[in-house]
Amino acid sequence: MPELRRDPIIGRWVIIATERGKIQSDFSKSEEVPPISISCPFCPGNENKTPSEILSFREPGTKRNETGWWVRVIPNKHPVLRVEGNLNRRGEGMFDFMDGIGAHEVVIETAKHNAAFSDLENKDVEEVIWAWRDRMLDLKKDVRFEYVLVFKNHGKDAGASLVHPHSQIIAMPTVPVRVKQELEGGRNYFEYKERCVFCDIIREEIEANLRIVSENEDFICITPFASRFPFELCILPKTHASVFEDLQKHEVTNLALILRDINGRMNRTLETPPYNFVIHNSPCKSGKLPYYHWHIEMTPRLTNAAGFEWGTGFYINPTSPEEAAKFLRETQ
């Protein structure tokens, strides 16, 4: 059973998940990635190599755990948290534990082994977004969970162990510290100004027009003013919204559009870099919030965070966000 441990000084929770030590990777060096791989558990025809599917979008008449799907959600074979049981919060001397209860799922985003978001049709990416949303709605029903996190590690240097395009969902018994800080910052700002800080940033960014990478009717993508990493990106809905699942249909279309656009710009400018993204959404039980604004944080993995950063929480970024935005904006 994975274990959650709380740092007795600063209160940070850490997952100790010892059973994940020996995960196989299928990355090989400098090889062309084929459109289908017979050894890939996420490729069509290999459905029996994965745990039984939780959700799939598939052609009418096809069966669960067989071919015919275009998006498929399965339990992670090496989960960092386990679904069964109770939290079992407890102390041991001055140390606090809880059991590693949660869900860990994998969203296989396409049947194509080698397709980036920018290679897919818009409707294909829309389907991935609908799958994220369906799983969020379902997982939020479980009262043990405080947060549902959707994230993606793409490429080995970004922490992925498999090449096949996939994102991950973790439902967890605690709100991640980074989201907590945003909630607190948003609340403080709202108390002072009675406005959403994210909405104010969007207005300010549109006016300054220095850090905008891409924009459509519903979404804007910027390089954040205090970017931690070179080419760090943030995608925000232009209209205030604290809950991802409240997306309307035209917003799903435009989110797919901007995700594909950004992915293409990143791949052209930075030579198809490994990257991570994470959806920052409101906690499960918070309802709609006037001071929080869901968004996607994305960053290509171009540098190694070194000793300075993990030891201090202080980031050194060698690329100005204005320069990064310019490069990405101007790429053909």
DSSP 8-state code for residue 101? B
| Backbone φ and ψ of 168, nearest 5° | -130, 155
- Cβ-based nearer residue to a second copy, 15 or 243: 15
Binders of a second copy in range 179-198 (CB under 8 A): 179, 181-182, 184-186, 189, 197-198
By the rule CB under 8 A, 20 interacts with a second copy:
yes
3-state secondary structure of 50: coil
Tell me which of 104, 113, 154, 166 is the catalytic residue. 166
- Cβ-based nearer residue to a second copy, 156 or 238: 156
By the rule CB under 8 A, 91 interacts with a second copy:
no
Are the beta carbons of 235 and 262 closer than 8 angstroms?
yes
C-alpha 40/C-alpha 45 separation (Å) is: 10
For residue 48 the two structure tokens come to 């029996």
Catalytic-residue membership of 166: yes
- Cβ-based nearer residue to a second copy, 36 or 195: 195
Are the beta carbons of 146 and 174 closer than 8 angstroms?
yes
Q: Say how many CA atoms lie within 13 Å of 226 toward its Cβ.
A: 3
Nearest distance from C-beta of residue 234 to a second copy, angstroms: 10
Q: Per-residue contact track with a second copy, 213 to 252, x per CB under 8 A?
A: -----------xxxxx------------------------
Are the beta carbons of 275 and 266 closer than 8 angstroms?
yes
Are the beta carbons of 82 and 98 closer than 8 angstroms?
no
How many residues make contact with a second copy (CB under 8 A)? Answer: 77
Binders of a second copy in range 288-307 (CB under 8 A): 297, 299, 304-307
Q: Tell me the window of 2-10, 67-75, 82-90, 254-262 that interacts with a second copy (CB under 8 A).
A: 2-10
- Cβ-based nearer residue to a second copy, 199 or 243: 199
Residues 6+ apart with CB under 8 A from 308: 314, 316
Q: Tell me the window of 54-62, 105-113, 156-164, 213-221 that interacts with a second copy (CB under 8 A).
A: 156-164
Binders of a second copy in range 47-76 (CB under 8 A): none
Q: Per-residue contact track with a second copy, 109 to 148, x per CB under 8 A?
A: ----------------------------------------
| Backbone φ and ψ of 163, nearest 5° | -70, -40
For residue 275 the two structure tokens come to 């990257």
By the rule CB under 8 A, 11 interacts with a second copy:
yes
Q: Find the helix or strand (DSSP H, E) in which 3 lies.
A: strand 3-6
Cα 153 to its chain centre, rounded Å, is 8
By the rule CB under 8 A, 269 interacts with a second copy:
no
| Active site amino acids | 166
